[in-house]
Amino acid sequence: MSETLIRNADFVITMDDARRELKAADLRLEGGVITEIGQGLHSDGEVVDASGCILTPGLVNTHHHLYQSMTRAVPAGQDALLFGWLKTLYPIWAQMTPEHFHVSAQVGLAELALSGCTLSTDHLYLYPNGTRLEDTIHAAAELGMRFHPTRGSMSIGESGGGLPPDALVEKEAAILEDCIRLVDAFHDGAEGSMCRVGLAPCSPFSVSRDLMRETAVLARDKGVMLHTHLAENDEDIAYSLSAFGCRPGQYAESLGWVGPDVWHAHCVKLDAEEIALFAQTSTGVAHCPCSNCRLGSGIAPVRALRDAGVPVGLGVDGSASNDAGNLVAEARIAMLLQRVANGADAMSAREALLIATRGGADMLGRPDCGRLAVGKRADIAVWDVSGIEAAGSWDPAALLLAGPTTVRDLFVEGRQIVRDGQVTTLDLGAVIARQNTLARGLMEAA
């Protein structure tokens, strides 16, 4: 197999078990894994000079809606709270086709890659006009991104007391049947897997209790993970109390939606009892700070979650509620918001970077990712710190305080998918042009 040597990195932030930070180090990659870390290494394969650069593990994105990159900054949704924002966008999303979903996934994943992300989840919960989950799976394979797509679902429309329009919901039997099809066709649970499928009903206000329960049973039978939105804002809490007579954490527990195979997005409004429940059951949280700010949802209690032992990863959320998909920038905002809420010593740059790498990987059941160590996957972000963003910085490891927000190079499974700041696996200019054309069509039809 071909070998690559990344040589002369100024600094390597390993996030390994010892949290080593190495100066003037080299990494040898072969067969999709890191085979050697040291100094003065030699190779007969490709050599990549990393002088003036910092190496980190590839970042891990634990919550996204890739299709939403087709609907950024929609005027009627710019200043709305969550439920109003959804009602604005549902009719637009209902017009999308498989091509919209495929192209938007290409754009969203490429944007993540340029921000240092090597592993991303996606929560796709609506399937208009013949769309299927594999429209996004194929996009990730074309780019070369490690991908954890989730088969989302909505089954209760407006006529049944739910939030989404009836045209966007599916029959529950059909949802479960398609979940089985997708896991059997695309899920790979092996170490080094490039695609793992999860099951992900959209939210407690868009599916039934029965679907939540049956999805959990199916996921555990198939050995795959579970994901949904939970406790995102005050409206979410009020809905849960009114409809279910309990808080979201209690509702999740009653349906079997806690455990190390479950991660919930947002969790901005979890109370102390719910945090303790998640800690006791090793239930994960995908923290999405920019989206929470954009929708006015609040600041998630990340400091309390981590102090309690809750697994926490980072997510950019959809580009209709963030308007960007830059994961390293998201990590900086996560750090700053915890300081706003809890003081300047509440979260260090290193801890925020850990959440964005090892934290997310561990939460997704990927101990083979999220750290730079011999035998782990060769998912590596190369950050050029010789430019203006880091000029004068005293601490090269404080990348989130003074550093670039795009990578110079990115390796996934040892394959270089970004080189010198350019995606190598797609004609990104053509993809962007196509996305803009499709987005204009949606705008004209709205």
Interacting residues of 353 by C-beta distance below 8 A, sequence separation 6+: 13, 15, 56, 331, 399, 400
Q: Are 351 and 314 in contact (CB under 8 A)?
A: no
pLDDT at 161: 87
pLDDT at 82: 86
Model confidence band, residue 441 (pLDDT cutoffs 50, 70, 90): very high
pLDDT tens readout for residues 319-360: 999 999 999 999 999 999 999 999 999 999 999 999 999 999
Interacting residues of 364 by C-beta distance below 8 A, sequence separation 6+: 60, 62, 119, 121, 148, 196, 225, 263, 284, 313
Alpha-carbon span 380 to 78, nearest angstrom: 35
Token pair in block for residue 273:
């009892």
Question: 249 vs 277, 307, 405, CA distance in Å?
Answer: 8, 18, 35
Alpha-carbon span 157 to 44, nearest angstrom: 60
Look up residue 390 and give its DSSP letter: G
CA-nearest of 234, 241, 305 to 275 is 305
Length of the chain: 446
Mean pLDDT rounded to a whole number for the chain: 97
Biggest alpha carbon distance in the chain? Answer: 67
Cβ neighbours around 92 below 10 Å, total: 19
Cβ neighbours around 45 below 10 Å, total: 12
Provide the H-helix boundaries in 187-229. 209-222
Pairing status of strand 21-30 against strand 53-57: unpaired
Mean pLDDT value across residues 191-206: 95
Alpha-carbon span 377 to 119, nearest angstrom: 11
Q: Tell me the HSE value of 24 on the side-chain side, using a 13 A CA sphere.
A: 2
Model confidence band, residue 194 (pLDDT cutoffs 50, 70, 90): very high
pLDDT at 1: 57
pLDDT at 2: 83
Alpha-carbon span 117 to 357, nearest angstrom: 9
pLDDT at 130: 97
| Least confident interval from 83-92, 112-121, 283-292 | 83-92
Look up residue 57 and give its DSSP letter: E
pLDDT tens readout for residues 228-284: 999 999 999 999 999 999 999 999 999 999 999 999 999 999 999 999 999 999 999
CA-nearest of 180, 65, 100 to 436 is 100
CA-nearest of 386, 377, 384 to 357 is 377
Alpha-carbon span 148 to 146, nearest angstrom: 7
pLDDT tens readout for residues 363-411: 999 999 999 999 999 999 999 999 999 999 999 889 999 999 999 999 9
Token pair in block for residue 177:
């049947």
Model confidence band, residue 301 (pLDDT cutoffs 50, 70, 90): very high
Say whether 16 sits in a helix, a strand or coil: coil
pLDDT tens readout for residues 117-172: 999 999 999 999 999 999 999 999 999 999 999 999 999 999 998 889 999 999 99
CA-angle at 345, arms to 341 and 346, nearest 5°: 45
- Over 90: is that where the pLDDT of 198 sits? yes
